[in-house]
Amino acid sequence: MMQPAGHQLAELNVGRLLAPTDDPRVAEFMGALDRINGLGKRMPGFVWMMEGSGEPGKGNTETKIDGDAQFVSNLTVWENVETLEAFVWNTVHRAFYERRAEWFEVLGRMHFVMWWVPAGHKPTLEEGLARLAALQANGNSDQAFGWSYLKEAQAWKTHGCAQVAAE
């Protein structure tokens, strides 16, 4: 699917931490949030990120899913797939992605979704979760998709690591 004119790429990534955010088992991940998020915000093509309270070291982990404090999310908007790919696969983000099994439970279902939004739109977590549910139920479509649905997405093919859970 090609990027519709006047649209940007939204992505939602959800995961359930192995332990509460103040637990030593996830301390390295929590300690890197500000660095990784800050890097993302400085990347060419970055548009917007759903923020938590702004408290250092928290990222967006205070935004709970289904009232579960360990079920955390990341919701961002990018100019296009190439700029999101550059951040995900060509920065230090990749090293943390490759180590996700150290900090996150294997969910056994899709936990990442992308979709096109009109330029300037800031999606809500509820909107992202609905897109994720659509992807889980129906597979890739113009409404909700993964990397494989985007012709422009190439880096995930060579830079992606072995599946730990459904991608």
- At 161 the pLDDT is 45
Q: Which residue is associated with the tokens 């991940």?
A: 29
Residue 107 CA, distance from chain mean position: 15
- At 114 the pLDDT is 97
Angle at CA 75, nearest 5°, toward 8 and 66? 140
Residue 98, pLDDT > 60, answer yes
Which overall architecture, per CATH, does domain 7-159 show? Answer: 2-Layer Sandwich (3.30)
Percentage of residues in the chain with pLDDT exceeding 90? 62
| Contact present, 145 and 154 (Cβ < 8 Å) | no
* pTM above threshold 0.85: yes
Q: Count CB-CB contacts under 10 A for residue 54.
A: 8
Confidence of residue 166 (pLDDT cuts 50, 70, 90): very low
Query: pLDDT tens, 45-78?
Result: 999 999 876 666 666 667 778 888 899 899 999 9
Mean pLDDT along residues 4-18: 95
Residue 164, pLDDT > 60, answer no
